[in-house]
Every structure is written in C-alpha cells, then in structure tokens.
Chains A and B, each alone.
Chain A
Amino acid sequence: MHAATGKCALLSLLLCLLSSIVTTGAAFAAPAGDAGKGGDVFAQECSDCHSVKPGKNKKGPSLFGVVGRESAVIADFDYSEAMRALKATWSEENLDAYIAKPKAVVAAGKMKYDGLPDAQARADLIAYLASQK
C-alpha cells in the first residue's frame, strides 16, 4: 500500500514537472532564431549604443554574454536605478519581452528605444546574442 502510494506520488511529481515545462514553453512560444540574420538585426537596431565586445560599454552596456546573465551586473557601467532594481536574469524569454517593449519591463529605464515588434526579428537577435559568449 505504501509502495503504491509512493509510486503514485512520484508519478504525480513527474506529471507536474512535465506540465510545468510544457506550460512554460507555451508561454514563451518564440519562433526559432537565426543567428546569422540576428547579426544584421543587431547592426540595425542595437549597434549604435551597444557592443558585443567583452568590456566595451557605450551608452549601453556590453552585450557580450548577455543571454543568461544577471541584470545590471557590469561593474563599470552606470545603470539606471530602475535597472538596478530589476534583479532579473536575462533569459531568452525575459530578453524577448524587454526588446519587444523596454518601457513595459523597466518603466524608468534610460534606454532610448521604443522596441522591436517583429517576433521573428527578436528571435534572430536573441540567437545572435546567445552566440556572443
């Protein structure tokens, strides 16, 4: 009886985890990104203010290794108070939301960018950024 209950609990846990993964995946249903095209998106949308060189900050911080990085962690970059307070990880999902409409994520941030509405372009850009590490 105990064994049966234990198996049932384990199955429930696995189902719960699977459900969680599927649910998360459904919430972030971004198209597959093309890093090659993302390089062009970066040149067009980001390169005036950001670099992908390690340690190279412009008006915006270096985006080298940004995917998976904690927010506001570059020591010698002057982040806004709002960005410092965000305390998030730049997962692909979070980056996608931020790039789509920065002010919706960091309302008092200082980045002068209205956002990139094209989901495919965002996916390509994030794929490119993920390759810069």
Chain B
Amino acid sequence: MSFVPDALALPSYARQTGEACDSCHVGSFGPQLTAHGMKFKLGGYTDSDGKPGHLPLAAMLIANYTHTAQDQDPPPDDFSKNNNVAMQELSGFIAGKLYDHIGTFTQITYSGVDKVTALDNTDIRYARETTLFGQEGTIGVTVNNNPSMQDPFNTLPAWRFPYTSSDLAPGVEAGPLLDDMIAGTVYGITVYSQLANGMYAELGNYASFSNNFLDVINVEQGQEINGLAPYWRVAYFKDNRSASYSVGVHGMSAELKDHGASGAGDKYADYGVDGHYQFLGNRMNIMSVNGSYTHEARDVAAEKSNLNQLNVAGSYYYDKSYGGTLRYFSTTDDSSAKLDSNGWMLQADWTPFGKENSWQAPWANLRLGLQYTIYNKLNGESGSVAGDANTLMGFVWASL
C-alpha cells in the first residue's frame, strides 16, 4: 500500500493520564496538539495518573464521501467516477507507556481504498527529565519511520493540517523529500532535547528498510536511501499556558536510488522555516496559526531544479467543539515538469465528545467535518482544468 500519513486521535493516552482529549488536542480531537500535548509527546508518551493496568491500545476509523467538480476519468480503482463513499482507514494502535521512560505511538492501518493492511506511522521513544547546560529539560531518543512525524509542533508535513483528506480525489503530486516521499519505507534514529529556556534541538539519520522487511510490514517499495540521510531541527518553543508559540528551522538531505541500482542516485536537500502561535486562554476560544516554508534543491536524472513548498493554516475552535480552519498551500517547481500547484482549503468540523464531562469519556470520540479544496493551479495546470479537481469531502472520524 502507499503510506497513509494522516490521522490520529488516541483515547489510550487519555485513559493513561486520566485527562480528557481536550487537554492535549485543539478541538478535543487529534492530531493538532496543545502545548500540553506537545510536552506529553516530548516526554515519550509516558506521563500517567500513576495507576497500573492501563492497556496502551486504541482504534480509529475514518469514513468519507468525496465529490469532485468534474468526474474523474478514469475513476479510482474499484470506485466510481464521482461521489464516492469509502471506509478510508481502519487503524489499530499500540500507544502509550511501555515501561519507565519508554513509550510509543504505533499505528497499523487497513486502507479501504487500497484494500491493504500495513504498518503506518510508528514512533518509539525514550525520554527523561534532566539538567543540560545548566538548564532543566527533557532529553530523548526516537526511532520512527516517517521523517517529521516525531516533531511536536504540527508545522511539518507528517502532522500539519489537513489532518485527513480524501484518498479518492486528485491531489498535489510534487513535494519535497520531507513530505511523504520516503515515509514508511525508512527508519530513523534521532536524539532531541527540550530545555527550560525554550530551545528544542534534534539531530539524527534515516536509512531504508530492506525489501524483505517492507514485504513483512506490507509497505510498497519506493526508492531507497543510498547510505544515510541526515535530519536536523532547531526551534524555540515557549508556553505560558494562555498561549504558546514556536519558531524554528528544519532540514533533511538524501540520495535516493532504485533498489539494487548502482551508481549515483537522485539528490535532494531540504531546508525550511516554520512556526506556530496558539492562543488558548480559558479554552473557550482557541485560535492557532501554523505555517512552514521548505526549499528543496534537487538533482534528479541529471537535471538540477528547485522546489518550494508553502503551507499556512489558521484555525478557530469554540467551546472545544466547533472548529473552522482555512489553509493556503503553494508549490513551485522549476524543473522541466513544472508541477506548480496552489490553492485554498476550508474545513468546518464538530467534535461532540472528548471533554471531561462528555458521554462515555474517554472511550467515545467522534469528529464530523466538511472540507472543501479549491485549486487555482494543480500539477502545472490552471484555469478550468485545475478547477475540475476542486473537492468536497464529508467525513466521519471516530476513535476509542
């Protein structure tokens, strides 16, 4: 299957901590984190209410309806040209504290579009509090299979808005290395520290899984990393409980080649800036802005080119339940393919549960939403050709 990078909301963490989903998630549903949730992740998913016997297990389902402005010809495999209903994802999770200082987020997903079950996002980490350079803070190490999924700020590709989108609609084809190009086919080990003075730093390397292992976890082979691919990230993160913000830089570079091929491969080097601001106040009116800009220098098939990707999303949630998000996205590609894209996305959603006094908390979790994507330009095409791909998606997202 192709890797499914989106979607999570994990009641097992709520059961482990005794906290409601709204403590860690904006709008009472994952994956957008509050500052409290960011710290839980950095702490290795191990904070708890101190009681034994919490099973680190959860499950999730996403079903959606997809309508495009014009019929798709040919239609997606096993689906109609338009107005498709799909059970897009059914996931099981091992998620929570495994041992002192060790926790995990491990997702196994059945795709109702690809009809395949495979290992999805996986992050196993060790973290502990310590004093470093005279500063109190948290240090940790993460082993994961998707560069940027370990990041806590919802600004980098793995966990930025949109948190779910249709697998049955046309989409932006060009993206940088960091954006899903090698997700699921690699493993990375990075070390990180978050100090009390606000400095967050992370450094590590990624390498490709063997073909045999990819067969075991049922992930489609892509190109493999030649040697190691370095990943780095530095940010300044502050939380005063009424609001939080981060501003940072990130990067990754890799040489990719077909499995078993000899000689030089395709070279990618990503560098970017990103940041977020989140106002929480008394949690009745939550506003956030998240953005990232990534530049990629490419040397692919003996052609040197540059790709730039911009994403900015602003959201507002009332009473931890009613949300609206507006996103602008843009990709410019100066290669001969010229796969430029840009447009807007608007989402409205309702999360009836996930609060401390909610029905069956923290077991029952649900988000209902409508999402509309407008393409001004899509994969180099503009005008009515791009507009034909404008997509309306309605979704039901549940977890327990």
Contacts and interface: CB of A to CB of B under 8 A. Distances in A.
Q: Do A and B come from one complex?
A: yes
Interface stretch (A3-11, A17-25, A42-50, A92-100): A42-50
A43 B283 contact: yes
A45 B39 CA distance: 15
Contact of A78 (B47, B51, B242, B356): B51
Q: Is the interface of A mostly helix, strand, loop or mixed?
A: loop
A84 interface: no
A3 to B, nearest CB: 63
A87 interface: no
A93 B286 CA distance: 33
Contact of B49 (A43, A44, A57, A112): A57
Given A48-B19, A53-B356, A58 B283 contact: no
B212 interface: no
A46 to B, nearest CB: 9
Nearest to A114: B196
B74 interface: no
B241 A59 contact: no
Contacts of B19: 48-49, 58-59
Interface residues of A, number: 18
A47 B283 contact: yes
Contact of A44 (B51, B282, B356): B282
Contacts of B23: 47-49, 58
Interface string A30-63: 0000000001100111011101010011110000
A77 interface: yes
B101 to A, nearest CB: 14
Interface string B237-280: 00001100000000000000000000000000000000000001
Interface of B: 17-19, 23-24, 34, 36, 39, 47-51, 241-242, 280-284, 356-357
6 contacts: A44-B242, A44-B280, A48-B24, A58-B18, A59-B49, A112-B39
Given A49-B19, A58-B17, 8 more contacts: A43-B282, A44-B242, A44-B282, A47-B283, A51-B356, A56-B18, A58-B19, A59-B19
